[in-house]
């Protein structure tokens, strides 16, 4: 049940229907209205939601007044809840937060901070789900070693890989996390505990785990990725956990990404986040980021994007225009908090810039230039050229074998095996990482070109990119005088840091005579509309002022999750809608 307007309007609507009305401002935007000194309703001015507090007789007067037809035998509680399932604010929504961070990151600290705020400020219960002790250990207890930290972490990585491999499902851990959540909920229900629960999963290691949790919990699932530099993580593992440098290097390298599909894939999972936080030694910094994240998802209407968030989102928006066959990359150049140009990865066209679809003014038909973009040619030139190089190399090696006399000492089967092996080795060699033969202009290059076409200097500017620049783009970024690069997704094949170590550095600190490549922190592009748009996100609309023009205060204590995780399927909600329209239509 809802009322939109100001308190005077609400009192006017109620007067004459109930006696001796009194309203008082309870906390912030919430008003408590009494009749004959008995509690009648709580009304939230920001969301318009009415919470019914009175007995059934008075409640029925209210239902009539607000055009909600009530069955007298219907309990007030259920009535209100039924409305809420279809309405915009559902106060009992659960939420699931999945943490992602490379090995050695302070994920425990992150968990504690989120838990502290959720409990103290947002009035939620928190259930922490430990992937290692509650999931991996349950299935692989005999494999877990406890002698020292290196063996312990390594045995958990091995066991995680085994679970994914044996089950033939890379989302195994996520599926089991859902099992744990379901069991915890059942137990809590038995104990009569609050339904307002946040589940924090510490931690996830594979992109398919993230995809699975989004399938299950949809917009009630939030991924928070924690960035901590490899130097800081190494120091922590060596000094605090007593590991050897060599052991740390092994774990860090392995954790980032293994070749096997069921291996560790932290790097592929990291950039899918709804929110990116960093730990650079500042505990306060981490705390402030966490509170900002929670305030955003709990509908604080006064938080707006930072310029870095805005420009990174613009880079993502730019990437959407790419028709590249393998991936969409976007980039933006900005200076003094002004966007100078945008770019995406696509095929260049005569006259400058990249192909856009062409709109036929007469028929309205939208088409792409024939023989232009890669898909119009039905092939990726880079892949084709790499195949030619591999074939050429394989043929030369096979000829060498034939002419070397090796074949005379082997039987036919052995020769076939040897030839197969050579093919495998060449095809899986670093040849596959070559990007040289692509027809596409990379997004970073296109945003630079865009500036040059319009005579805009790029000296001292910042470049925002959805992916870590490749070494080819990196050298042009340096040459263009860019001083700062903000990136989201890591790109392991890039040699930028190796090739240009004298003029490029990674991290958050400015360095003399070096371009700083900075990992992005803040709201991830995928969640931008949901947290920043007052009306376009999936959750309830945000309200910033009352009708008389004063701002409406927001407080964590009184806030509701903006995008609620409704406990009903769409089929059940459809049934609720049918019930409701049946009751409402009696009045029509």
**Residues facing 385 on adjacent strands:** none
> With contact defined as beta carbons under 8 Å apart, do 14 and 4 qualify?
no
> Whole-number minimum distance, CB 443 to Zn ion, in Å?
7
The answer to whether 136 and 154 are in contact (CB under 8 A) is no
Q: Is 562 in the site for Zn ion (CB under 5 A)?
A: no
CB 354 to Zn ion: min, Å: 14
* Phi/psi-derived region of residue 216, left when phi > 0, alpha when psi is between -120 and 50, beta in every other case: alpha
Kindly state the DSSP code that residue 549 receives in the 8-state scheme.
S
Pick from 442, 449, 446: nearest CA to 471:
442
Count the alpha carbons within 13 Å of 218 in the hemisphere toward its beta carbon.
13
- Out of 115, 212, 214, 442, the residue judged to bind Zn ion by CB under 5 A: 442
Determine the Cα–Cα distance for residues 486 and 331; give it in Å rounded to an integer. 10
CA 243/CA 544 separation, integer angstroms: 52
Q: Among candidates 341, 312, 355, which has minimal Cα distance to 521?
A: 312
Locate 136 and state its tokens.
């991996």
| Candidate segments 118-126, 228-236, 423-431, 438-446, binder of Zn ion by CB under 5 A | 438-446
- Do 545 and 551 meet the contact criterion of CB atoms below 8 Å apart? yes
With contacts defined by CB under 5 A, how many residues of the chain interact with Zn ion? Answer: 3
Q: For residues 407 and 396, what is the distance between their CA atoms, to the nearest angstrom? A: 15
Give the residue carrying structure tokens 């709804």.
274
Judged by phi (left if over 0) then psi (alpha if -120 to 50, else beta), residue 512 lies in beta
Q: What's the min distance (Å) between Cβ of 517 and Zn ion?
A: 13
User: Minimum Å distance from CB 290 to Zn ion?
Assistant: 33
Strand partners, 26: none
- Kindly tell me which of 209 and 446 has the beta carbon lying closer to Zn ion: 446
Q: Quick one: DSSP state of residue 540?
A: P
Minimum distance of Zn ion from residue 272's CB (angstroms):
21
Q: Degrees (nearest 5) of the Cα angle 254, 255, 259?
A: 55
Task: Give the count of beta carbons closer than 10 Å to the beta carbon of residue 66.
Answer: 15
- Residue 479, both tokens: 């040459």
Q: Measured from the CB atom, is 33 or 329 closer to Zn ion? A: 329
208-229 burial, b at 16+ Cβ within 10 Å, e below that, comes to bbbebbbebbebbbbbbbbbbb
10 vs 440 by CB, closer to Zn ion: 440
Region near Zn ion per CB under 5 A, out of 37-45, 441-449, 452-460, 543-551: 441-449
Among the residue ranges 43-51, 300-308, 439-447, 569-577, the one whose residues contact Zn ion (CB under 5 A): 439-447
Dihedral of alpha carbons 400, 402, 404, 406, sign = positive
User: For residues 367 and 358, what is the distance between their CA atoms, to the nearest angstrom?
Assistant: 5
Kindly tell me which of 473 and 561 has the beta carbon lying closer to Zn ion: 473
Place of tokens 């093919």: 423
Local structure of residue 551 (DSSP, 8 states): B
Contacts to Zn ion from residues 462-501, by CB under 5 A: 470, 473
The conformation of residue 18, written as its DSSP 8-state character, comes to B
Q: Mark out the alpha helices in 147-265 (DSSP H runs).
A: 149-167, 172-190, 207-217, 230-235, 245-256
HEC profile of 331-386: EEEEECCEEEEEEECECECCCCCECCCEECCCCCCEECCCCCCHHHHCCCHHHHHH
Residues of this chain that interact with Zn ion (CB under 5 A) are 442, 470, 473
């Amino acid at each position: 049940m809802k009322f939109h307007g100001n308190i005077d309007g609400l009192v006017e609507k109620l007067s004459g229907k109930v006696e001796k009305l009194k309203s008082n401002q309870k906390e912030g935007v919430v008003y408590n209205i009494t009749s004959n000194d008995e509690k009648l309703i709580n009304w939230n001015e920001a969301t318009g939601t009415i919470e019914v507090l009175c007995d059934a007789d008075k409640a029925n007067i209210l239902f009539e007044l607000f055009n909600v037809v009530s069955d007298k035998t219907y309990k007030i509680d259920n009535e209100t809840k039924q409305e809420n399932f279809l309405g915009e604010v559902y106060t009992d929504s659960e939420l699931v937060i999945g943490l992602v961070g490379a090995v050695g990151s302070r994920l425990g600290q992150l968990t504690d901070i989120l838990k502290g705020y959720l409990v103290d400020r947002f009035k939620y219960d928190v259930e922490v789900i430990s992937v290692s002790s509650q999931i991996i250990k349950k299935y692989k207890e005999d494999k877990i070693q406890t002698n020292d930290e290196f063996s312990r972490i390594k045995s958990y990585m091995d066991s995680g890989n085994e679970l994914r491999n044996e089950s033939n499902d890379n989302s195994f851990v996520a599926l089991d996390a859902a099992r744990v959540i379901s069991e915890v909920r059942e137990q809590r229900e038995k104990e009569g505990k609050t339904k307002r629960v946040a589940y924090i999963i510490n931690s996830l290691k594979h992109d398919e785990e993230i995809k699975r949790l989004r399938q299950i919990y949809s917009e009630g699932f939030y991924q928070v990725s924690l960035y901590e530099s490899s130097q800081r993580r190494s120091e922590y593992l060596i000094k605090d956990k007593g590991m050897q440098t060599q052991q740390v290097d092994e774990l860090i390298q392995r954790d980032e990404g293994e070749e096997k599909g069921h291996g560790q894939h932290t790097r592929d999972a990291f950039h899918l986040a709804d929110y990116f936080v960093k730990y650079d030694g500042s505990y306060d910094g981490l705390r402030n980021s966490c509170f900002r994240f929670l305030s955003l998802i709990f509908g604080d209407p006064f938080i707006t994007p930072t310029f870095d968030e805005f420009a990174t989102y613009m880079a993502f928006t730019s990437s959407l225009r790419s028709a590249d066959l393998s991936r969409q990359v976007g980039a933006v150049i900005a200076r003094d908090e002004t966007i100078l140009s945008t770019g995406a990865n696509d095929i260049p066209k005569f006259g400058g810039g990249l192909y856009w679809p062409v709109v036929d003014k007469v028929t309205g038909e939208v088409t792409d230039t024939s023989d232009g973009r890669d898909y119009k040619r039905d092939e990726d030139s880079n892949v084709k050229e790499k195949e030619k190089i591999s074939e050429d190399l394989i043929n030369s090696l096979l000829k060498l074998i034939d002419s070397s006399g090796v074949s005379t000492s082997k039987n036919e089967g052995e020769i076939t095996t040897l030839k197969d092996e050579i093919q495998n080795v060449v095809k899986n060699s670093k040849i596959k990482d070559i990007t040289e033969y692509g027809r596409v202009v990379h997004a970073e290059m296109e945003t630079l070109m865009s500036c040059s076409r319009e005579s805009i200097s790029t000296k001292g500017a910042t470049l925002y990119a959805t992916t870590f620049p490749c070494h080819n783009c990196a050298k042009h970024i340096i040459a263009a005088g860019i001083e700062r690069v903000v990136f989201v997704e890591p790109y392991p094949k890039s040699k930028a840091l190796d090739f240009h170590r004298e003029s490029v550095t990674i991290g958050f600190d400015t360095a003399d005579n070096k371009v700083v490549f900075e990992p992005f922190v803040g709201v991830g592009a995928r969640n931008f509309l949901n947290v920043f748009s007052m009306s376009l996100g999936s959750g309830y609309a945000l309200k910033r002022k009352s009708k008389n023009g004063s701002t409406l205060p927001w407080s964590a204590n009184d806030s509701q999750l903006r995008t609620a995780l409704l406990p009903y399927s769409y089929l059940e909600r459809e049934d609720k809608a049918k019930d409701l329209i049946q009751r409402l239509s009696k009045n029509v």
